[in-house]
Amino acid sequence: MQDITFFTCAPKAQFYDKLFLNLDLSEFPEAVAKTGRKGYSKIALLCAFIVMKCECFSYITDLVDYLNNNLLIAHYCGFNIMKPLPSYWTFDRFIGDIDNALLKKLMQSQVLKLSEMGIIDTSFIALDSTPVSANTRQNNPKSFAKNKFSKDNQPKSDKDCKLGVHTASNQHNERNFEFYWGYKNHALVDCITGLPIFEMTTTADIADSTVTLDILSQTNNFLSIKECTFIADKAYDIKEIYNTVKDVYFGECAIPLNKRNTKDPKKLPSGHPICEAGLAMHKDGKFSDNGRTRQKYCCPLKNSKCASCPCNHKNWNNGKKHRDCTKYITLPDDYRLSIDRECISFKKIYSLRTEAERYNSRF
């Protein structure tokens, strides 16, 4: 039997045929060897790796077997199926030697094309990261090696990876976390379509918030993010991010507050905190430090000469002239604290962040 169409289902063959016909690879270089064996087309090798990701293969060996058993798809990739297809080592050398800047340029051209067609825009964008584990035995949960997650125990199989931590959720009191050696992939996603706009890969020890401004700047260089709504989780709750989105890009932020292990004092409807004895505390001036303004509250019995603290607070019986307990509340004098995170509008906008999580799940 010579008809290769019998070995591949028609819908899948049509999918790859339309995919590669609409994928603009004109700026991607071809393989032209001056001497020796001509080799394989770089565009065909790139298309083969696209097939690998679409089919969710984890290993190149699975890709090689798939192409040899589906010659029609190998033909759509650009290979000459009348000759032997590339071996494992050909694919391995290609993915190891390819310049990442070419892939970024290819992604930018596709994003711009989608923007011109009106499919994606930057009205609502979300940023999130996902861990990428290095291929090392120290990430194997069945490995009982000592100090496998020590910073001094760099994996020999990957000299570039770093030690990072991955939590199960973004709750500040979440204790379910695990260490790993590897990298992070940061993806900026259009929340309406769920399609990626920009991506950056860093080592696992890089905090998400430290690369945010760089990602926004590089994205704005080829696709304007002016007047965007930037959505992210608590890991991005940094004042500099809020101010940059508001002042530079004239946009808004939908980021929940990260309490950072701070206690939330009991308050009256008027905003006055309640002391440990259950008394409403009085205002005692304002002061500024570290770029923030804080309101000081003192004990209501501070100026009483004969009263005693109902709860016998340690600061009341300290033997000093100024004896009372105090509390401090940061006043919302900046954009970060002025956002109403309890309103319906904020909750609806923040719910769009799930598109970034769906993209990372597919990744």
Sequence-distant (≥ 6) Cβ neighbours of residue 257 within 8 angstroms: 234, 237, 341
Shared domain for 66 and 88, answered yes or no, is yes
Nearest-angstrom CA–CA distance, 277 and 81: 83
Question: Given 74, 98, 122, which residue is the final one in a domain?
Answer: 98
Mean pLDDT in residue range 229-237:
94
Give the model's pLDDT for residue 131. Answer: 92
Question: Residue 76: its pLDDT value, please?
Answer: 92
Residue 22 within a domain: yes
Q: Give exposure, 277-311, as e/b (b: 16+ Cβ within 10 Å).
A: beeebeeeeeeeeeeeebbebbbbbbeeeeeebee
Q: Is the pLDDT of residue 117 over 60?
A: yes
Q: What is the mean pLDDT of residues 175-191?
A: 90
When divided into structural domains, the chain yields a total of 3
Please state the rounded mean pLDDT for residues 153-164.
Answer: 91
Name the domain boundary from 98, 118, 146: 98
Which pLDDT value is given to residue 274? 78
pLDDT score recorded for residue 142: 84
Same domain, 286 and 251: no
Assign 307 a pLDDT band (cuts: 50, 70, 90).
low
Q: What is the mean pLDDT of the chain?
A: 84
Domain residues for 299?
Answer: 261-333
- Calculate mean pLDDT across residues 228-236: 94
> Per-residue pLDDT averaged across 313-336, rounded?
70
Predicted pLDDT at 34: 45
Between 21 and 324, the higher pLDDT residue: 21
Q: Are residues 108 and 233 in the same domain?
A: yes
